[in-house]
């Protein structure tokens, strides 16, 4: 096996492991984050109406923003890792000579 093939295989293992670790964290967050954002917003509105005070938004609004930004950043990281993994997998197939143009 040539050094480039072993480097490609190691790179593929590394990217696949990173993607699995990210997805293990991301999938539960992806399912819960929209519900948390909606719950924080609803709680904030009810607290505002009940107390006629808006000071709680100094806490609630940043939490909502953090959840939204975290979703965006993690989703972008996941897509980037998926694209890199696919590119390395394609390079490995091409290097092995098993790439078919069908």
Q: How far, in Å, CA of 61 to CA of 48, rounded? A: 13
In this predicted structure, what is the pLDDT of residue 1? 53
In a domain, residue 98? The reply is no
In a domain, residue 102? The reply is no
In this predicted structure, what is the pLDDT of residue 74? 85
Based on the structure, what is the number of domains in the chain? 1
In this predicted structure, what is the pLDDT of residue 40? 92
DSSP string, 53-101: --TTHHHHHHHHHHHHHHHHHHHHHHHHHHHHHHHHHHHHHHHHT----
In this predicted structure, what is the pLDDT of residue 98? 61
Tell me which residue range forms the domain holding 58.
Answer: 3-92
- For the chain, 102 residues long, give each residue's pLDDT as a single digit of tens: 566 778 878 888 888 888 888 888 888 888 888 899 999 999 999 999 999 988 889 999 999 999 999 888 888 988 988 888 888 888 888 887 765 554
In a domain, residue 55? The reply is yes
């Amino acid at each position: 096996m040539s050094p480039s093939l072993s480097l490609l295989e190691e790179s593929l293992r590394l990217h696949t492991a990173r993607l699995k670790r990210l997805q293990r964290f991301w999938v539960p967050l992806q399912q819960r984050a929209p519900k948390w954002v909606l719950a924080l917003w609803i709680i904030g509105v009810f607290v505002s109406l009940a107390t006629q005070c808006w000071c709680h938004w100094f806490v609630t609004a940043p939490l909502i923003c953090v959840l939204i930004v975290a979703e965006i950043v993690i989703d972008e990281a996941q897509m980037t890792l998926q694209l890199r993994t696919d590119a390395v997998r394609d390079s490995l197939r091409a290097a092995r000579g098993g790439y078919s143009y069908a």
